[in-house]
């Protein structure tokens, strides 16, 4: 509508006199024309369609914003739009083998102009690239740069939007890419229109900020016994036999929730981001309950392992290889929230097994105990640094 709002409806039942119709079929045709022109990639085409008001239909039949995979699905089906059923999943076809020269279209059964379908097929074949040889047993291409914080770091502005709308699918993680001038981290998909002014950040800026966090989390070895004693005391308070039974039942319930979420994901009822959120929340709760019931020796072991990892990497972050940095990040951290505008980490979550390392802070009325140099960012426009 002219006021910028959108509404589901029918072509012949306009909600306003000046409303513009944006149907699913028109969206597919528009995507194919943009692709056939050869001026834009799938990411840019998705952005253009979203800006023009077009929407993609998800597995539940609901309108959703376009993303790269949506465009890829449409253009891969150019033979079907041209009246030919090939009987295989379109996105798995070899674009160099399925071409206008090898697939004669049927104008009588085509739903989109045959010439447009041919142009899409030709453009898809021109853009087709063979996969590079991978390293043995890794699946990683030999020429790929490693970005340690990729897929673990989330945009703080997307995070704020997801919380406000209670929709985990709006969370957007950052991935690394080799920019024209320097390596950068950026949104994995640009379908979410968060209010961040910057859509990417230089890799060195984000990684230096993460190094600051590691330095802040590093503890002195001499305080480990104090942390163990306080955490054990905190966990064992009022731990009666009935309470222990309730905890066991709650652990089993959390595990069942994880299984239920996995089933919903397999049925395409929830997206991958929602699944990860369910699994992370329940695994953290399980780890917390198990730690409360653990003996002091096990608590000490968890704290010592976490502390030693932080001390080791904190002392050699600048000299460590990208592989070592990546292994450290993905072993210890579940997620990192980063503000692309202020260039500051606003929040973070440790893995479930290591989360108890920080529980002592919560036990002290939220005061940060034995952490050196960790201060909430003063210029952050989204949130504040928290330990949870």
Look-up: residue for tokens 């919903």? 264
User: Looking at residues 195-207, what average pLDDT do you find?
Assistant: 91
Same domain, 113 and 185: no
pLDDT for residue 135: 42
Same domain, 349 and 303: yes
pLDDT band at 370, cuts 50/70/90?
very low
**371 has a pLDDT exceeding 80:** no
Inside any domain, residue 17: no
Task: Average the pLDDT over each of 56-65, 101-110, 291-300, 339-348 and give the range with the smallest value.
Answer: 291-300
Same domain, 168 and 301: yes
- Angle between helical axes of 42-51 and 24-37 (0-180°, round to 10): 140
Give the other-Cβ count within 10 Å of 233's Cβ.
11
Q: How many domains does the chain have?
A: 2
Question: Cα angle at 202 between 199 and 203, to 5 degrees?
Answer: 115
**90 has a pLDDT exceeding 90:** no
- Which tens digits make up the pLDDT trace of 219-262? 767 766 776 666 666 656 556 677 777 878 888 898 899 989 88
Same domain, 244 and 344: yes
Q: Helix (H, G, I), strand (E, B), or coil: what is residue 63?
A: strand
Inside any domain, residue 32: yes
Domain holding 334, by residue range, is 141-190+198-388
More reliable by pLDDT, 358 or 329 = 329
Please give the structure tokens belonging to residue 41.
């990639």
Same domain, 204 and 306: yes
User: Looking at residues 68-95, what average pLDDT do you find?
Assistant: 83
Same domain, 106 and 212: no
More reliable by pLDDT, 299 or 141 = 299
pLDDT for residue 281: 83
pTM, whole model, 2 decimals?
0.53
User: Looking at residues 147-160, what average pLDDT do you find?
Assistant: 92
Inside any domain, residue 6: no
**387 has a pLDDT exceeding 50:** no
Please give the structure tokens belonging to residue 106.
């049927």
Contact 196, 155 (CB under 8 A): yes
Same domain, 275 and 361: yes
Inside any domain, residue 225: yes
User: Looking at residues 192-207, what average pLDDT do you find?
Assistant: 86
pLDDT for residue 363: 45
- Which tens digits make up the pLDDT trace of 17-45? 788 888 999 999 999 999 999 888 888 99
Please give the structure tokens belonging to residue 209.
């900020």
pLDDT band at 360, cuts 50/70/90?
low
**381 has a pLDDT exceeding 70:** no
**68 has a pLDDT exceeding 70:** yes
Inside any domain, residue 65: yes
pLDDT band at 185, cuts 50/70/90?
very high
Domain boundary among 73, 103, 127: 127
Q: Helix (H, G, I), strand (E, B), or coil: what is residue 290?
A: helix
**1 has a pLDDT exceeding 90:** no
Inside any domain, residue 135: no
Inside any domain, residue 133: no
Same domain, 175 and 295: yes
Domain boundary among 80, 99, 127: 127
Domain boundary among 127, 157, 180: 127
**58 has a pLDDT exceeding 50:** yes
Same domain, 242 and 103: no
**328 has a pLDDT exceeding 60:** yes
pLDDT for residue 210: 94
The H or E element that residue 350 is part of is: strand 344-350
Inside any domain, residue 98: yes
Same domain, 104 and 158: no
pLDDT for residue 136: 40
| Alpha carbon distance 58, 64 (integer Å) | 6
Same domain, 86 and 149: no
Same domain, 381 and 267: yes
């Amino acid at each position: 509508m002219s006021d910028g709002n959108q509404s589901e409806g029918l072509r012949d039942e306009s909600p306003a006199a000046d409303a513009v119709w944006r149907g699913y079929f028109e969206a597919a045709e528009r995507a194919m024309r943009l692709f056939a022109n050869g001026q834009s990639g799938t990411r840019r085409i998705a952005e253009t369609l979203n800006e023009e008001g077009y929407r993609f239909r998800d597995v539940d039949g609901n309108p959703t914003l376009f993303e790269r995979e949506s465009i890829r699905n449409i253009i891969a089906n150019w033979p079907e739009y041209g009246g030919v059923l090939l009987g295989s999943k379109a996105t798995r076809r070899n674009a160099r083998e399925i071409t206008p020269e090898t697939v004669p279209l049927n104008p009588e059964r085509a739903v989109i102009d045959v010439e447009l379908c041919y142009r899409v097929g030709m453009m898809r074949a021109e853009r087709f690239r063979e996969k590079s040889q991978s390293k043995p047993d890794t699946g990683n291409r030999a020429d790929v740069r490693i970005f340690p914080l990729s897929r673990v770091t989330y945009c703080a502005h997307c995070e704020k939007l997801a919380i406000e709308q209670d929709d985990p699918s709006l969370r957007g993680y950052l991935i690394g890419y080799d920019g024209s001038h320097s390596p950068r981290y950026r949104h994995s998909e640009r379908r979410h229109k968060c209010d961040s002014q910057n859509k990417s950040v230089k890799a060195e800026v984000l990684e230096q900020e993460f190094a600051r966090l590691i330095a802040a989390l590093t503890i002195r070895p001499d305080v480990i016994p104090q942390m163990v004693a306080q955490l054990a005391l905190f966990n064992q308070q009022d731990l009666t036999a009935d309470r222990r039974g309730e905890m066991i039942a709650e652990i089993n319930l959390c595990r069942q929730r994880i299984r239920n979420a996995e089933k919903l994901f397999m049925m395409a009822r929830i997206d991958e981001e929602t699944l990860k959120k369910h699994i992370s929340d329940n695994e953290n709760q399980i780890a917390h309950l198990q730690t409360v019931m653990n003996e002091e020796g096990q608590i000490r072991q968890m704290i010592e392992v976490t502390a030693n990892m932080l001390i080791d990497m904190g002392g050699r972050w600048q000299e460590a290889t990208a592989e070592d940095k990546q292994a450290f990040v993905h072993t210890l951290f579940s997620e990192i929230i980063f503000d692309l505008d202020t260039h500051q980490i606003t929040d973070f979550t440790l893995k479930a097994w290591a989360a108890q390392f920080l529980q002592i802070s919560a036990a002290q009325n939220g005061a940060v105990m034995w952490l050196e140099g960790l201060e909430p960012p003063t210029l952050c426009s989204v949130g504040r640094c928290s330990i949870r």
